[in-house]
Structure formats: C-alpha cells, structure tokens
Structure 1
Amino acid sequence: METPYPISIVPTKTRIGWIGIGVMGAAMATRLLAAGYSVAIYARSPSKALDLQSKGASLVNSASELAQVSDIVFTMVGHPSDVRQNVLEKNGLLQGLNPGGVIVDTTSSHPDLAREIFAAARAKGCWAVDAPVSGGDIGARDGKLAIFGGGDAGVVKWLSPLFEALGKVTYVGEAGCGQSCKIANQIAIGGNLMGLSEGLVFAERAGLDVKQFVEAVRGGAAGSMAMELFGERMIERDFRPGGFAEYMVKDLGMGVDVVEEGEDVERIVVLPGAALAKQLFSAMVANGDGKFGTQGLISVVQRLNGKLLGCGCARVRRRHWC
C-alpha cells in the first residue's frame, strides 16, 4: 500500500486539523500540541477554543478551510449526524481536503457512515480512518486511550506517531471495523457499569462500607477497569462527565437497534444485556441527567431502590433524586 505521503509524520512538518473540542477532544488536541504538532481548530463556538489557542492552536472559520490548511484532520464530535455534516456536507472536510489528505474520525459513530466516508475520500484521492477511542477523560488527558483503527492497514500504521501521543492503537480491520469495535466495547462497558452499580447499591444496603467493599474485591474476578475508573466517582457521587450518558444511549443503540428495512438477517444479534443497559441509560436521560458521566448509571439503580441522594454534581446544590 502506498502511504498518503512519502515522508514520515513529524511535528515540524505535519499539519494537524481538529474538530470537536469537548471534554475528550480538547484533551486529545492538547496532547498533540504538547508533542510539538501544529494544530488548527474549527469550532462552531469559537470562544470554546480559547484555552487551546493559549496553548498554541490556531482557529479557522469552517471545516472546509480547516481541511485546506491541514494534512490530517481529526474529528471528535457527538453524533453520526455531526460527523456527516462536518465531513460530507457543504463546506465539509472533503470539500477542502487536498489529494492525499487524511480524515481520522475518533467519534463513536456508525460503521456504515465510516464506510461511506472512506469511499468518498478515496474517490477524491484522499484517505479516511475510523478510530474511535475508549478510556474516558482520564485516558484522554494521560495519553492512555485504547484506539480502534479501521480502514487501510498501511494508513493506520503510517498514522502511528499521532496515535502514540494519544494512547495505543489496534488495527481491527477495514473501514467501519473501528466503529464496530467501539460498539462492542460499549456493550461490554455498559454491562460492567450495570454490575458495578448494582454491586455498590447491594453492598451499601447490606451494611458494608462501600469503599472497603471496592478495596476488597478489586483484586479478584470482580475487579475491572470500570471499577478503577469509576468506582470512587460513584461512591462520591461525582458524576462529572468523561463521556456523556446520552452518548451511551446512542452507542448501545447502534448495537441493539440494527433491525432496519432491508437489513441482512445474518447481521442481527440478540443482545439482552445491552438492551437493558440502553434502557437504564435512557432512564438517566429521561431524569434530566443525560449530561452526567456514564458512572451516573448508579443513580438509576438507587432510584429504583427508593433512595434519596445528596449529589456531588455542580449542577445541583441541594438534596434531590439524582
């Protein structure tokens, strides 16, 4: 496979573009700036880019303009519709991307859209990689994200210097496979969060010290990365987001809501646990807590058990059902 450029990716020459500067995106862009790369940003709300600008990033006026001044453009936005708008629609990245340019979508998006973007990029002599990530705000900040690379294997390998600044990339297959891997990841973490939430609620109801409970079981079979990342946050009612609960509804939905008109029956998978997890995260959204972190799932289990809680979130300054 011929790589997009005959030279290696190096901070002094490779121009990076970035769209999506929320909790995750801002931390990831900061990692690339710290590694010495030139980073340009397009933001619908320019005021949100001030912190990154203070670290050396530049700001442009549109996605198309961003593509024109970048060799590689990363996207980390909320929904597949946002990806489509920023990449494929009028004034999107593909309109301005120069031949040989690369789009790296780190959003949790739909596999079919990733394949559509890959085909559209190749038709223009460009490349596209779907590379969603896992690890939350802590992983993004510390450069320890798990990255699921889908697309051309040679291009994913060529991008490795950038991925190494963000975490560890695993090539998982052709276009769309990165997104499928992320959906499977979310199915697994959704089940972990359900189990952790119920374990903590049961332990407290049984009269255990919940911090002692976590310490006792974390080295055994019940221990998990979910427990390490979120156990203390759940206990302290710290629901500040690394990833929004409402996005978990989206991600799980892409796994369980696959029965569409004309869908290949061989692709339909029965996922009862994921369906239940989606219902519980949907309950969070219905409760007005969609902007909480995914660790806030424990609030739904506590509500089901009739417990009035004092929440540690900045949004609320009183005791409430959270």
Structure 2
Amino acid sequence: MGTLTPFPNPITPSQTRIGWIGIGVMGAAMASRLLSAGYSLSFYARTPSKPSSLSLQSQGAVLVSSPRDLARSCDVIFTMLGHPPDVRQIVLDSDGLLSGLNPNSVIVDTTSSHPALAREIFSAARKIDCWAVDAPVSGGDIGARDGKLAILAGGDGEVVKWLTPLFDILGKVTYMGQAGCGQSCKIGNQIVVGANLLGLSEGLVFAEKAGLDVGQLFEAVRSGAAGSMVMELFGERMIGRDFRPGGFAEYHVKDLGMGVDVVEQDDDEKVVVLPGAALCKQLFSGMVANGDGKLGTQGLITVIQRLNGK
C-alpha cells in the first residue's frame, strides 16, 4: 500500500480536482459552495436533466458519464446519496468509483450510511493505495447553503486533516476516530434530533389545544431551557406548515433504524436499548405510511396532529 504522507499536493483551488455524486437538496448546495470557492468540480448524475444538474453546470461544473470516469479525473470525490445500498453501488460496483481511482485519491462519503459499510469501503480503498473518509453531516438545507454544517468524520486522522480546507467551506469538521466512527456519530446525532423534533411537535400541538398563540409560545421559550438548534431550524417552519425537505422524513426512518435495529448485530455487548429512538422511528414510519415520506423531518408534527384529531 502507498504511504499516507505527504500527499502529492496541499488542497488548493488551482490544483485540487473535486468530484461530486448526489445533487439533491443537500448535495447540490454543498457542491455549489465548493464551486463558489473557486474549485473546479465535475459531477455524475443519475438524472442529468434535474434542475440542480443544470444549475451546477451553469456555475461551471462539468457533467461526466459514469462514476468510473469521475474517479479517473478527480483527486477528491464527495458522495451525498440516499441510502447505504446507493453508496455500495456507486463506490463498490464493478464500474463504481473504486474501479477508476488514481493512487492517493480520497472518497468522502457524506451520506448518512452504515458504519460497517464505511469500514468496508475504507479497507477496499486502502487495497488500491487510496483513502476513504466517512463524513456525514448535520445542519439541514440551511446549514448546507450557509456553510455551517457539522461534519462528523471517521477514517485516518491525517487524511481528515488534509481535507480540512474543503471541510471549512462546508462547515466545521470534528474527527471522531477510525473508519465508521463518523457514521456512528451521525446515528447518535439523529437520535437526538428525532427526540427534539418529537418534543417540539408535542409542545406546539399542546399549546394550540390549550388555546395559546403558538407563535407567541415559540418566542417565549426559544431562549430558555427548551431552546435548541432543532427549534431554530424547524420551529417556524412547523408553525407555518412549511414542510419542504432539507432532509426527507423517510431518511430519518433509515437513520434511526441503523441505531435501533442493526447496532453491531455480531456483538451482543454493543446492542443498545433505545426506547425513545424506537418510538421516534415508529412515528416517522407513520409519516411514510401516510404518504408523507418525502416531506421534511419537521413534518413529524403532522403525525402528532393526526393523533389529536387534526
């Protein structure tokens, strides 16, 4: 295997070629920030006719025909996909990213995915003298647009350090440990976010039932102990019934499921009992059953409203 340090070049807009796969709400905003910072960026899109694809091209990004071709032309390739099987296909399939990577290239997976898959990709990348970092993010569409994402990185610490100029454009990176640790941290993050969304939903529904002005309640409690980043990101959207997605509700079912259902099944000592997360997963699953899986996670309030006859 190749050596880690030094990398051939430091990361700079003039000499670092960026690749991107996954141009949904989050991915398109993140890729756009790198373009605005002066980096050359190529991307692969399974649906090239998407408005986000056309928007990136208007900013100077180059559309390529396959993950393999993207890997051949880039030094650092970001992925922001929906589910672990999508990541597996894009990275590990016979014509995936690993089939075209140049030595010392780096894959940075920002998808909320499974820790075991992150470890598998890391090992496969090392076998061809390349690197992989699992770096899921938190902060929603607003954080992606404003470059204020929390980036939770797992992999080799020196590689994460080398990538810092790119991470700084997207938000703030925290190195969590070896491969898979970034994904484990994201699962923990989603457990906390789900609990906050549930509490906020129930508080707003209770206030309405009690005859309070819910907007006034929101202003009254946001600076107290009930205040949170979840409240700042989603409170006004919930009140205004703005359920446009920063992250799909169906993805939160997936994220919570990785904590509740499949926590290191090969090691009984690592199985964790998470009754709150299990309840949140059930309620988000209710959103999906109601046909609302493509709404934003703030749409959880609709489930609580339905339970209360609204």
Contact 1:42 1:60 (C-alpha < 8 Å) held by counterparts: yes
Q: Deviations over 1:130-171 (max 9, x none)?
A: 000000000000000000010000000000000000000000
Q: Is the Cα contact below 8 Å between 1:16 and 1:38 reproduced in 2?
A: yes
Residues 17, 66 of structure 1: 8 Å contact kept: yes
Q: What is the one-letter code of the residue matched to 1:47?
A: S
Q: Does 1:132 align with 2:136?
A: yes
Cα shift readout 1:253-302 (whole Å, capped 9, x = no counterpart): 00000267x62110100000000000000000000000000000000000
Deviation at 1:90, TM superposition (A): 1.6
Quick check: 1:233 aligned with 2:240?
no
Matched with 2:153 is 149
Maintained 8 Å contact 2:263/2:272: no
| 1:267 lines up with 2:270 in the alignment | yes
Structure 2 equivalent of residue 293 of structure 1:
296
Give the secondary structure class of the aligned counterpart of 1:73: strand
Once residues 278 and 230 of structure 2 are traced to their aligned partners in structure 1, the CA distance between those partners, rounded to angstroms, is 19
Question: How many positions carry a matched residue from both structures?
Answer: 306
Q: Which residue identity lines up with residue 308 of structure 2 in the other structure?
A: N
Paired with 2:300 and 2:169, the residues of 1 have a C-alpha distance of 31
2:120 counterpart of 1:104? no
The alignment's C-alpha RMSD in Å is 1.0
Q: CA deviation at 1:24?
A: 0.2
Other structure's SS at 1:46 match? coil
Q: 1:23-38 to 2 correspondence within 5 Å?
A: 23-38=25-40
Q: Partner letter of residue 204 of structure 1?
A: E
Instruction: Give 5+ residue unaligned stretches, structure 2.
Output: none
Q: What secondary structure, in the 3-state scheme, does the structure 1 residue paired with 2:49 have?
A: helix
Report deviation, 1:27: 0.1
Aligned equivalent of 1:320: none
Q: Give the TM-score of the pair, scaled to structure 1.
A: 0.94
Percent identity of equivalent pairs: 76
What does residue 16 of structure 1 align with?
18
Distance in 2, matches of 1:209 and 1:136, equals 27
Counterpart Cα distance in 2 of 1:257 and 1:14: 40
TM-score normalised by structure 2 residue count: 0.97
Matching of residue 277 in structure 1 with residue 280 in structure 2: yes
The unaligned stretches of length 5 or more in structure 1 are 308-322
Contact 1:248 1:281 in 2 (8 A): yes
